[in-house]
Amino acid sequence: MRSELIEEMKKNQEEMLQKLESKIEDIDKDNKKSLEKLTSKLSKSNESPEKSDSSVKRFKLKHIFYNVNAFRKNVFYFSEWENHFNVKWRLMTARFGDHLGFYIFCEPIAPTDKWSIRTKNEYKVVGRNQEFVIRSSENCHRGNRGWGFPRFQEWGDMEEWFLVNGNLKVEVEITIIETVGLEKKRIRKFDESQKDVSDVILVVGNTKFYVSRTFLASQSDVFKTLLLGGFSESKQSEVTLNGIDPDDFHYFLEVLYGEFAIDDTTVEGVACLADMYDVPTAMRKCEEFLLNESKRTLKMKLELATRYHLKNLEEQCIREIRAIENVRFDVPKYDNHQTEWKVYHLNFNFDYSLGQRQYRKFNDRSS
């Protein structure tokens, strides 16, 4: 009897040990995944601007130009302005002789005397069967001059293969490489005057930021691992962060330090860095601003919600899409082909195909 009891106790102990070992393995796996995620973010933060997707300032401008076969020669036809990264952007097409001209224009949202924006651009004309023509360029924008191609495509080929009911769909993917002179007024200093209350210098481009390791580590697991973990940077007095804009990083730090630094000119840059460095408080503040204060279009809000997984903002956009769906057949068309209902639903400058995809996803999740 006693031997049976001992055997039963041994069996129970073995089962408990197996369960404990299994739990330890699960914890190790979770820790490994978390470490891999952090390592991935850290490695991206130290790559060159061309390689670090998480820090790249990239966006698309899309537009449908109507009644293109009626375009007069040497007359410019513009899309509406869109705001991206503290800059206004728009597309332009024109008929230059027997060719289609295709350009982008930009200018700072806040007036400034000296400014420049260096970009890589991919221009695309989309046909009826999703055929497309692509051309690329790298430009430095200054003043009100547009950049593009005066002979992007032969007019006859464009009419034959790319017009759909007389309308032309175009888009440009823009990657911002460098900006100069676009910064807004700063609230807080992170320069050498903060040396006595800092213990590490973060070098971004040609700018040095004097900050606290422990404070940044408390805001972000990525910073915690980088500045206090086993990486070589934890022992360095200066840590270089590659592939990010120093102006964006300044506003990002202001948000972390409790300043009200988010507005329509800074929210994209702050959200980009909040995602890159995995800072939930900064991302939440970006979402709250977009929900309650931003004047951005529904289209742009939905794009940001999708890019940065902002659930509350996405759901708000979906509700507005549903409202548009309920009334869209009652909205009249306008004579001006650039503001026709098919492009601007209720003047929201709304990308209908994107909205429909998110609308279906939201319905699937709700059912």
Burial class of 245 by CB neighbour count within 10 A (0 to 12, 13 to 18, 19+): buried
Tokens of 289: 């601003």
Alpha-carbon distances, residue 118 vs 134, 160, 176, 251 (angstroms): 20, 35, 6, 21
CATH topology of domain 55-179: 2.60.210
Domain ranges of the chain: 55-179, 184-292, 298-366
pLDDT at 23: 56
CA distance 285 to 271: 9
Contact 15, 7 (CB under 8 A): no
CB 258 within 8 A of CB 237: no
Contacts of 332 (CB under 8 A, 6+ apart): 341
Q: How far, in Å, CA of 213 to CA of 199, rounded?
A: 6
Structure tokens at 74: 């040497």
| One pLDDT digit (tens) per residue for the chain, 367 residues | 556 655 665 666 666 656 656 655 554 454 444 445 555 555 555 544 444 455 578 889 999 999 999 999 999 999 999 988 888 999 999 999 999 999 999 988 877 778 888 999 999 999 887 778 899 998 888 777 789 999 999 999 999 899 999 999 999 999 988 888 777 778 899 999 999 999 999 999 889 999 999 999 999 999 999 999 888 888 899 999 988 888 899 999 999 999 999 999 899 999 999 999 999 999 999 999 999 999 888 888 998 999 999 999 999 999 988 887 776 544 444 444 343 333 333 333 444 444 444 444 445 554 4
pTM, to two decimals: 0.62
Give the model's pLDDT for residue 144. 74
Fold of 184-292: Potassium Channel Kv1.1; Chain A (3.30.710)
The number of CA neighbours under 13 Å toward the Cβ of 307 is 25
Query: DSSP alpha helices (H): ranges in 229-351?
Result: 246-256, 267-276, 280-292, 298-308, 311-327
Q: Does 55-179 match 184-292 in CATH topology?
A: no
Say what the pLDDT of residue 142 is. Answer: 79
